[in-house]
Amino acid sequence: MDPASLTGQMAISLSPARFFAPDQPSPIAYQFMGRLDLITLWVTVLLAVGLHVTGKVSKGRATIFGILMWLIGALPALRQAYMSM
């Protein structure tokens, strides 16, 4: 990557936000796209699988836990984006 093309933190992430300039989409959509990062999703899946295996929790509850953790993790960035609008 050309260092001149790096416009922000999302430019080096593995998310759909990488392909947008920070001022192109709405700030909330931009932060949400940044949350769809491949590594973030992988860590969330690993947390849910770990909870299922070591915590002896059902697959359904572990999936719900993973989704809730992903959403809770998105709240600070979404709040900041909302406040900057």
Indicate whether 66 belongs to any domain: yes
Coil, strand or helix at 56: coil
Cβ proximity of 10 and 34 under 8 Å? yes
Indicate whether 11 belongs to any domain: no
* pLDDT tens figures, 4-25: 777 777 778 888 888 887 777 7
Indicate whether 39 belongs to any domain: yes
* pLDDT tens figures, 51-73: 999 999 999 999 999 999 999 99
**What is the extent of the structural domain holding 79?**
25-83
Indicate whether 55 belongs to any domain: yes
Neighbours of 77 (CB within 10 A): 16
Indicate whether 13 belongs to any domain: no
Overall number of domains in the chain:
1
Taking the CA of residue 41 as centre, how many other CA atoms within 13 Å lie in the half-sphere pointing to its CB? 11
Buried b (16+ CB within 10 A) or exposed e, 16-44: bbeebeeeeeebbebbbbbbebeebeeeb
